A and B are shown apart, each in its own frame.
Chain A
Amino acid sequence: MLEIEIDGKKLTVPSGSTVMDAANSIGVHIPHFCYHKKLSIAANCRMCLVQVEKAPKPLPACATPVTDGMKVFTHSDQAVTAQKGVMEFLLINHPLDCPICDQGGECQLQDLAVGYGQSGSRYQEEKRVVANKDLGPLISTDMTRCIHCSRCVRFTEEIAGYQELGMANRGEFTEVLPFIGKTVNSEISGNVIDLCPVGALTSKPFRYSARTWELSRRKSVSPHDGLGANLVVQVKNHKVMRVLPLENEAINECWLADRDRFSYEALNSEERITKPMIKQGGVWQEADWQTALEFVANGLKGVIAEHGRDSVAAVATAHSTVEELFLLRKLMSGLGVDAVETRLRAADFSLKTAGATWLGQPIAELASNEAVLLIGSTLRKEQPLLAQRLRQGVKKGLKLAAINPHADDLLTTKAAELVVRPDQLVEGVLQVLKAVAEIKGIALPTNVDAASIDIPAEARAVAAVLDGKAKAAILLGNLAQQHPRYAEVYAAAAAIAEATGAKLGVLAEAANSVGAQLIGTDAGGDVFAKPRQAYFMLNTEAEFDVQNGAQALAAVQNAKLVVALSSFSSCALEHADVILPVAPFSETSGTFVNMEGRAQSFNGVVRPLGDTRPAWKVLRVLGNLLGFVGFDYTSSEEIRDEALAGDIAPRLSNVLAAPVAVKAQAASGLVRLGEVSLYQADMLSRRAPSLQKTADAAVAAQLRASAATLAKLGLAVGDRARVTQGNGVAELEVAVDAALLDEVIRVSANHPLTRALAAHVGAISVVKA
């Protein structure tokens, strides 16, 4: 510990602290631009100059280590003169175009210029002008405003993991740019907008649509992945204008993924449906709520009377809130219907655990593991901010290993990696399990039949990464959870965890995957395999939210009654009989339980659009109409308190309820690797135009395979290929992917171009179109 005095205040700080850290710890503000607590120290803006006793000249607080007995003056004459001098230099080439700058009102340069700037400039010469750069559909540039703090450059390299921006040229000619002809394609790129202290990098979708001081700031929670990033939603005239991160060190830190940040565009989409609609004689007609709800109540009663309660199934995506899912289940049990399902992207429903599957540890502790083994995960696209956390962990010594059906770059160092065919994920995990058993000199569990398994060197390397680590985690991603043999993958992974002492965790696919399990909306199984007479669908688009979208669509099309509760019309319209417009997350209060089991409640940030109503209110009224007791809630909080009564923690468990028989199998031939692209994963991101223009969205529209496989199929990059799976056909552009084994055909799932295809993993045939 070191003693330091700042502006007369004495304090002690840990050695290694900088003057900036010390000042921050006692709330003394030192003006700065390039300093950022999550980035490396660049010390290139010089705004943070302070006076230090016995130092011959002012020193930059952000880069000056505290020494024992140091005396610092942040507002002395010397310090203020230095700070004013720096400000004068910064403003020399700045265009001072605040009136037309989106950053106006939230600009650090503007704010500090008020304190340290002059009212007029002594610089009379010509200012420099810097050409704008095309950074893609999300980030707008006004590079003349750049003050070269290099925060954006450091972000891409240090946080996003790949340096997409650089500082070219030198001195007066320095400019920030991507490499010639490239854009910024990171899935967390939008954070540079927040980091840029001036208006050089601003949000493209938000550009010129409001001034910051006209916006009210409301807290919310991201409805996308299982992280539950905290949001500040900014609103003007009852319209969501923009989304920013709400800092929460335990969850999203100060970051957001682009999906969290830009999906709000969908909230104002043309496809929003604002009036209840009933299809009569094949024609859609607007209806009032009373009529529509009675239609639904009578319809459900009618189907059950005629075909029995097993003829009805309710489905919802796990992007629905706790309150919505709880009332859905309650409504269905009132009707005697058991089939309520949220695991819509699953292919194997047989896994039974002692509680709700979850991360197995707090999110904040993930990066402090000594080793992490990822199984079946395209992590950067599934959980962009968790990938970021692990990246920071690797810098501090975490060893990362993966068993995956691809060798995608995590933009960090992998200590070991086993790449398998998508239909051999179980076998891959078994190879590592066998290697672990060998290292430990233990026998395989009796439920595991791995006799036919040989151990390749890569599997041994993966096993070695976990071996002897006091704190390790094994994490199952979306590809594992959506795998046709999920229960076997899970059981084999659990056996590795057991043998190595690692904690097993499941990376929740959706914002409320854990909440859905707590409520018990995972009791239906594959409700589309055996078609029902009636489907009650909450926030679900059959083709895009269900693993076998083609099968689901057929089931829904042939059903007698389809009730769709949705915020959007397009897809639901084609097959539903009645559509009830319900509020997206921004227009209702609700709760999501994230992957670490944390319940986060939020309020609506704007009022429901048109005649839209929060789904929990719709379900409540339906309950009343059907004459069920216990549907007299007056607030969503009341529902939440009933739904999540008691502690959540004891109800989370990744322990298998019963042993699962795991048996190695052989596989050969062309096989599909179907992943849900990050911008197709849920109703909102699907409809966010800017996200649909990103490089990630473009990649999702391609068929990818190894060069050897393409050659064997007679395909060249840029060709169009026709793929057939089951009865479904899709036509896609061909691209090469070096991260795949031969015979693996990577084709997005639940994508507009591939919606006719069947299971995510399975035999597929490909010909040139």
Chain B
Amino acid sequence: MLSQESLAQIDRELAKYPADQRRSAIMGALRIAQTEKRYLTNELIEFVASYVRIPPVAAYEVATFYNMYDRKPVGKYKLTVCTNLPCALSGGYTTADYLKQKLGIGFGETTADGKFTLAEGECMGACGYAPVMLVNNHSMCNHMTPDAIDKKLAELE
């Protein structure tokens, strides 16, 4: 269900923990699976769980708890805007509203061309750079004023 590369990466995650604590590797394993497949179906969660050798429901708990795991198809670029308090005080909602209006979608929605998905995020530990936005869970963008957003969107093809 996953490529050899992804499985090798999961093996590396597993190697970080003692043999009787394989469960600890589930977050990393799900992240790797999601990176390859873009989002986590129930079948994929079950596959990862059996690869890590934990009950599927234990993986499902993790996959449904953390909001960086996607369980529905997302656009080519998933833009996650932090709306926790420090960001909110520094314009996080303005950023979000600007994006909503510009892309014509709300939180949890994807543009018709499948290019962008907008998501609401929790504190990313970068409050000093508020408002903060994350692209595809991996690249962090700081000080996302409307101007900065225009620039960023233009970069994303």
Task: Check B57 for interface membership: any CB of A closer than 8 A.
Answer: yes
Residues of chain A in range 133-182 having any CB-CB distance to chain B below 8 Å: 157, 162-170, 177-180, 182
Residues of chain B in range 45-64 having any CB-CB distance to chain A below 8 Å: 46, 54-58, 60-61, 64
> Is the Cβ of A165 less than 8 Å from the Cβ of B65?
no
Task: Give B51 Cβ to nearest chain A Cβ, in Å.
Answer: 15
> Is the Cβ of A179 less than 8 Å from the Cβ of B55?
yes
User: Contacts of A169 on B, CB cut-off 8 Å?
Assistant: 64-65
Q: Tally B residues with Cβ within 8 Å of A.
A: 12
> Is the Cβ of B64 less than 8 Å from the Cβ of A162?
no
> Is the Cβ of A164 less than 8 Å from the Cβ of B57?
yes
> Is the Cβ of A168 less than 8 Å from the Cβ of B55?
no
User: Contacts of A180 on B, CB cut-off 8 Å?
Assistant: 42, 60
A163 vs B65: C-alpha distance in the bound complex, in angstroms?
17
Known: A162-B55, A163-B55, A164-B55. A179 touches B64 (CB 8 A): no
> Is the Cβ of B58 less than 8 Å from the Cβ of A166?
yes
User: Contacts of A177 on B, CB cut-off 8 Å?
Assistant: 57
Interface of A is mostly: loop
User: Contacts of B55 on A, CB cut-off 8 Å?
Assistant: 157, 162-164, 166, 179
A170 vs B61: C-alpha distance in the bound complex, in angstroms?
9
> Is the Cβ of B64 less than 8 Å from the Cβ of A168?
yes
A179 vs B58: C-alpha distance in the bound complex, in angstroms?
8
Which partner residue on chain B sits nearest A169 by CB separation? B64
User: Contacts of B60 on A, CB cut-off 8 Å?
Assistant: 166, 168, 179-180
Q: What range describes how many residues of A lie at the interface?
A: 10 to 19
Which partner residue on chain B sits nearest A165 by CB separation? B57
User: Contacts of A168 on B, CB cut-off 8 Å?
Assistant: 57, 60-61, 64-65
A177 vs B64: C-alpha distance in the bound complex, in angstroms?
12
A163 vs B62: C-alpha distance in the bound complex, in angstroms?
14
User: Contacts of A163 on B, CB cut-off 8 Å?
Assistant: 54-55, 57-58
Interface of B is mostly: helix
A180 vs B54: C-alpha distance in the bound complex, in angstroms?
15
Task: Give A277 Cβ to nearest chain B Cβ, in Å.
Answer: 51
A167 vs B59: C-alpha distance in the bound complex, in angstroms?
10
Task: Give A695 Cβ to nearest chain B Cβ, in Å.
Answer: 15
Best-buried of B46, B54, B56 by chain A (most CB within 10 Å): B56
> Is the Cβ of A179 less than 8 Å from the Cβ of B65?
no
Residues of chain A in range 20-57 having any CB-CB distance to chain B below 8 Å: none
> Is the Cβ of A166 less than 8 Å from the Cβ of B61?
yes
Task: Give A499 Cβ to nearest chain B Cβ, in Å.
Answer: 31
Which partner residue on chain B sits nearest A162 by CB separation? B55
User: Contacts of B46 on A, CB cut-off 8 Å?
Assistant: 179
> Is the Cβ of A170 less than 8 Å from the Cβ of B57?
no
User: Contacts of A166 on B, CB cut-off 8 Å?
Assistant: 55, 57-58, 60-61
A643 vs B20: C-alpha distance in the bound complex, in angstroms?
51
Task: Give B6 Cβ to nearest chain A Cβ, in Å.
Answer: 22
Interface readout for B85-113 with A: 1 if CB under 8 Å, 0 if not? 00000000000000000000000000000
A166 vs B42: C-alpha distance in the bound complex, in angstroms?
14
Interface readout for B6-49 with A: 1 if CB under 8 Å, 0 if not? 00000000000000100000000000000000000010001000
A169 vs B69: C-alpha distance in the bound complex, in angstroms?
11
User: Contacts of A182 on B, CB cut-off 8 Å?
Assistant: 56-57
Task: Give A266 Cβ to nearest chain B Cβ, in Å.
Answer: 32
User: Contacts of A167 on B, CB cut-off 8 Å?
Assistant: 61
A163 vs B52: C-alpha distance in the bound complex, in angstroms?
14
A31 vs B33: C-alpha distance in the bound complex, in angstroms?
43
Residues of chain A in range 474-512 having any CB-CB distance to chain B below 8 Å: none
> Is the Cβ of A170 less than 8 Å from the Cβ of B65?
yes
User: Contacts of A164 on B, CB cut-off 8 Å?
Assistant: 55, 57
Task: Give A407 Cβ to nearest chain B Cβ, in Å.
Answer: 15
Best-buried of A168, A177, A413 by chain B (most CB within 10 Å): A168
Task: Give A736 Cβ to nearest chain B Cβ, in Å.
Answer: 16
A165 vs B61: C-alpha distance in the bound complex, in angstroms?
10
Task: Give B37 Cβ to nearest chain A Cβ, in Å.
Answer: 17
Task: Give A146 Cβ to nearest chain B Cβ, in Å.
Answer: 15
A684 vs B65: C-alpha distance in the bound complex, in angstroms?
44
A179 vs B48: C-alpha distance in the bound complex, in angstroms?
13
Task: Give A314 Cβ to nearest chain B Cβ, in Å.
Answer: 49
Which partner residue on chain B sits nearest A166 by CB separation? B57
Task: Give A410 Cβ to nearest chain B Cβ, in Å.
Answer: 15
A452 vs B88: C-alpha distance in the bound complex, in angstroms?
79
A357 vs B153: C-alpha distance in the bound complex, in angstroms?
79
Residues of chain A in range 168-208 having any CB-CB distance to chain B below 8 Å: 168-170, 177-180, 182
A162 vs B55: C-alpha distance in the bound complex, in angstroms?
7
A334 vs B46: C-alpha distance in the bound complex, in angstroms?
65
A264 vs B134: C-alpha distance in the bound complex, in angstroms?
59
Chain A to chain B: the 10 pairs with minimum beta-carbon distance, closest first: A166-B57, A179-B56, A179-B57, A163-B55, A166-B61, A168-B64, A169-B64, A170-B65, A180-B42, A163-B58
A-B contact pairs, 16 of them (CB 8 A): A157-B55, A162-B55, A163-B54, A163-B58, A166-B58, A167-B61, A168-B57, A168-B60, A168-B61, A168-B65, A169-B65, A178-B57, A179-B55, A179-B60, A180-B60, A413-B20
